[in-house]
Chain A
Amino acid sequence: MSLDAAIKVDLGTFHVDVELRVERGEMLAILGPNGAGKTTVLRALAGLVPIKRGRITVDGLVVDDPAAGTFVPVERRPIGVVFQDYLLFAHLSATENVAFGLRARGMPRGEARQRAGQWLERIGLATHAGHRPGTLSGGQSQRVALARALATDPRLLLLDEPLAALDVGTRAEVRRDLRRHLASFDGMRVMVTHDPVDAYALADRIAILDDGRIVQSGTIAEVTAHPRSRYVADLVGTNLVMGRVDGGVLTTTSGASVVIADAPAGESFAVIRPQAISLHRTNDAAGSARNVWSGVVVDIDRLGERARVRLDGVLPLTAEVTVAALEALAVRPGDEVCAAVKATDILVYPV
């Protein structure tokens, strides 16, 4: 029960060459900037773009294998897609949108509408059953799009930038809803996004795509701790801390306190960029920084003129400093150092 895909697609001079494996119940996030080929990978999985070489197998069913001459057309693949901008059909009500896939597969109208109604109830939009997409908010549209994709009972769910169309205010809330609704789906899931936060919040594993190729993949913790290139480090190499905010302080489950500028109380993520962390030999040297944690240097990765220093302690962190600064400090693995961060350099958002 898995998705196995080797995808090779040529789009003019742009080549996509990607291998993926997603287990049942797992969410893979394909992370990369615009133009990296993320959407092409998704379209190939969906069958909207035939692959040139390679093979795609969903739950043991070969859906695309050019060498064997196998190509299962889009409408017969066991997939559901949540598109960027959702692409709800404007001339149909929310119910009719969700029922569309069932109707297309020949289910009688009454039964399809009844099932769609159950879906709308599950996503909390029963009162919006007759509404046209034009009258729904971004978050509501996304839920309808998700219900529409899941209503046909797919084995593989594909999500194309599911949160990109939302404004900042609703994003965190919709992200949380999305995670909750996705939890009830037990198939394979692949999401593409350019935003590491979405990947952190929703995915089990990430694959970093650059210029049509996967440059690194693994669990989020692995990739964050050991980015293998400058590119990956910039994209994901950040410290994500989860905890409870109360009175301007975020407290982690391990008991570390993080002083933050201002954020509403409740379960939250704090993002501390490795570049924002300065390292010092003693507590006194940290200056005006509100946060000073001591930790033991676990290892040091050099990436050109910069070095990533991984610290273990009550708050495990990755700091990024210049090689010159590192040499001035003269730290080696096993040494104890202090890590300092200004409260205003920490980005906090609700879970």
Chain B
Amino acid sequence: MLHRSLIAPHRSAPARSKDAAMTAAARPRLPAPVLALAVTAIAFFTLPFLGLLWRMPWSTLFDVLGEPGVRTALWLSIRCSLLATALSLVLGVPLAWLLARVGFPGRNLVRALCTLSMVLPPVVGGVALFFSLGRRGLFGQYLDRWFGFTLPFTTWAVVVAQTFVAMPFLVLTVEAALRQLDERYEDAARTLGASRWYAFRRVTLPSIRAGLIAGSVLAWARALGEFGATITFAGNFPGTTQTMPLATYLALESNPEEALILSLVLIVVSFGVLVGLRDRWLGSSRVATGTG
């Protein structure tokens, strides 16, 4: 007993970094077929964007972007997607916590139900929202009767539709982050006199910051691109419910040039956010360790 503890092997830090250097030097070469398929995949993702850029009417770019209709759609998209992200955070983080930490019967069923909209065709989600929250819907009729409030075909309907499809991305990301977090950190906080709520705010949330940011970005990206549920539940009214994806789709029929430019805007915004956040928050070591 005495001897064991005194001669227990411990790997030193220099030994570890040496291992890393060796791994880099001895990096295995990919088999040729795998490499060929991987390059094909890259081409598959790149070619559509090249095609889009090739047809881009660069000369009229700024004229179209200056049109009030385009600016309105862009502004509406940004507002709604940010609101949907905020709503996803407020409701999704507690849900993720419940799924990660509380073992209740039917937990897997609840998780499946709450993330169903992620795999469902968005149109189906829109139909479901319409028949539950619409003016004649199961719950919507009471909104109408008691508060005189009709949800469908309003800007709030856009936010609800986007939240419905976007929140699962945040829930799953945050749940994974919570599962990685050692619960004993919360125990430590409580032995220091922190209430559960104080420990949640001051220890749990900061510790899963990387997961929160990653989940928010994924949810926001999904909300920004949301089309099917929005057009089904909120309609397509310029200024109130016509978001960028809707405007792009409709422009394709009447004015393909405008559709190209609107697409470019969405690509630039999304790509910029992904590149900007990826290095710092997604897939970095911070996510892996959870506690830095």
Q: Decide if A101 is an interface residue (CB 8 Å cutoff).
A: yes
* Chain A binder among B5-13, B50-58, B150-158, B215-223: B5-13
Residues of B within 8 A of A235 (CB): 1
Alpha-carbon gap, A75 to B184, bound state (A)? 14
CB proximity of B220 to chain A, nearest CB, Å? 23
A152-165 toward B: CB 8 Å interface, digit per residue (1/0)? 10000000000000
Judge whether A87 and B1 touch: CB under 8 Å: no
Q: Decide if B43 is an interface residue (CB 8 Å cutoff).
A: no
**Which DSSP category, helix, strand, loop or mixed, fits chain B's interface?**
helix
Q: Which of A149-205 contact B (CB under 8 A)?
A: 149, 152, 167-168, 194-197
Residues of B within 8 A of A105 (CB): 193
Judge whether B182 and A87 touch: CB under 8 Å: yes
Q: How many residues of B contact A (CB 8 A)?
A: 29
| Known contacts A80-B191, A168-B7; is-contact A238 B185 (Cβ 8 Å) | no
Q: Decide if A10 is an interface residue (CB 8 Å cutoff).
A: no
Judge whether A104 and B192 touch: CB under 8 Å: yes
Alpha-carbon gap, A138 to B175, bound state (A)? 30
- Give the residue of B5, B7, B202, B206 whose beta carbon is less than 8 angstroms from that of A195: B5
Alpha-carbon gap, A347 to B190, bound state (A)? 41
Residues of A within 8 A of B184 (CB): 83, 87
Interface size of A as a range: 35 or more
CB proximity of B25 to chain A, nearest CB, Å? 28
Alpha-carbon gap, A43 to B145, bound state (A)? 54
**Which DSSP category, helix, strand, loop or mixed, fits chain A's interface?**
mixed
CB proximity of A275 to chain B, nearest CB, Å? 12
Closest to A103 in B: B202
Judge whether B1 and A347 touch: CB under 8 Å: no
Judge whether A75 and B6 touch: CB under 8 Å: no
B172-207 toward A: CB 8 Å interface, digit per residue (1/0)? 000000000010110111111111001000110011
Judge whether A48 and B187 touch: CB under 8 Å: yes
Residues of A within 8 A of B6 (CB): 168, 197, 347, 349
Residues of A within 8 A of B119 (CB): none
Judge whether B193 and A134 touch: CB under 8 Å: no
Judge whether A75 and B3 touch: CB under 8 Å: no
- Give the residue of A75, A83, A148, A195 whose beta carbon is less than 8 angstroms from that of B195: A75
A73-95 toward B: CB 8 Å interface, digit per residue (1/0)? 11111011101000101111000
Q: Decide if B2 is an interface residue (CB 8 Å cutoff).
A: yes
Closest to B12 in A: A167
Residues of B within 8 A of A80 (CB): 191-192
Judge whether A101 and B1 touch: CB under 8 Å: no
- Give the residue of A90, A101, A134, A168 whose beta carbon is less than 8 angstroms from that of B192: A101
